[in-house]
Chains A and B, each alone.
Chain A
Amino acid sequence: MYYYIMEPPSTRAVRQTYQRLRDQLTNLGIAGEMMAASPARSPEELATMGLDRGYSTIVAVGGDAFVNNIAQTVIGQAVLGIIPIGEAQQVSELIGTNNIRTAAEFLKFRRLSTFNTVTAEPESLIFLDAVIEPPRMAKVSFVIDGKLRGYAYFNKLTVTRNLEIKIESQHLVEPHKILGLFSVGGTVIRSESQFHGRAVRLTTEPELALLVRGQPLAKTPVQLRLNPNSLKVITKRGSIL
């Protein structure tokens, strides 16, 4: 039997969706224990409760950040099921649908895929893309696998569960002025970089937060470590990882 943890509904429509989902799960014969997260009971606490009760599959019902939080508790101890609701673009792509009925059917058929994850030390988990977006261009220094050092200026830095570091920046080169009157030139220079490794240290100036869907996960300086094939997730059969 599955143990469902639901994100607190943000709107009345989401509440109604939860009710429909309950009915669908019952019809599919996979209704299990359902718990709703709240300010008093965090998703991590509920996931721990589920594990303590012996559930081997914990289903996160909610958006990207919520699913990432539950994955952090579940990893290495149980299979993660996902029903995407709300801001759930990443998890929808991951399991292969954004439709709750289809996602519920995936749970019934239980095709397992194994995913890499990243630990942001000491203990935060990156299962879905984590992002650093400073208000203005910032500097990041990085060390990859202890053998490659570098720095860059960036507007956006993304860390994926495969420990790929994507660094994006764009800045305007000042236009030249002729006789102090006419502006000539002025081009936007865009830069995109991508690295990957098994252990990466990131340091930014200034210190910045690493966010999953706006929810802080860690703060720089941060040591990141790849956990290969560490999380089992119920997905669409043959989904691309």
Chain B
Amino acid sequence: METSGPGTTVGVNVALSGTLKDQSDISVFGMVEGEVISEKSVTIGQSAQVKGPVKGELVTISGVVRGAITASEKLELLETGKIFGSISTKNLVIHTGGIFVGKCEMPTGEETVGEPEVEADLEPSQANSEALIPDEE
């Protein structure tokens, strides 16, 4: 059986429009107008300009991104990187010189841990309310 593709690289002198989607890594050094989606890592190189949402597990930005970025594991904005758009990630690293203009959302494990606790609190009270229902007989 053939192996899956080795990933996508957009070179310096390439311009793309549309949805760039790959199960493997994506590296962008040229211009992309549209979505950039990977199930693994997305690297936006220093010469790159991306206008559109970027999604990946690990996202590293050295170029310019105008659009929302979602990194399910980690987002790293390097010193030459510029982000104009909202970001969502669990782990965020912004190096000195990196520019970020937008909103940041950081979903943490605590929130997901907290939710069951609330439900756990509710359960006894529900049990109590059931106990308070008078026996019709």
Contact = CB atoms under 8 A, between A and B. Distances in A.
Interface in A131-154: 147-153
Nearest to B5: A196
Interface string A150-178: 11110000000010100101010000000
A235 B3 CA distance: 16
Given A162-B2, A241-B1, A150 B7 contact: no
What does DSSP make chain A's interface, helix, strand, loop or mixed? strand
The size bracket of the interface on A is 20 to 34
A48 interface: no
Nearest to A162: B2
B8 A196 contact: yes
B2 A194 contact: no
B13 interface: yes
By CB atoms of chain B within 10 A, which of A150, A171, A228 has the most? A150
B49 to A, nearest CB: 14
Interface of A: 114-116, 147-153, 162, 164, 167, 169, 171, 189, 191-196, 228-229, 241
Interface of B: 1-3, 5-20, 22, 29-30, 34
The 5 closest A-B pairs by CB, nearest first: A191-B11, A193-B11, A150-B16, A148-B18, A152-B14
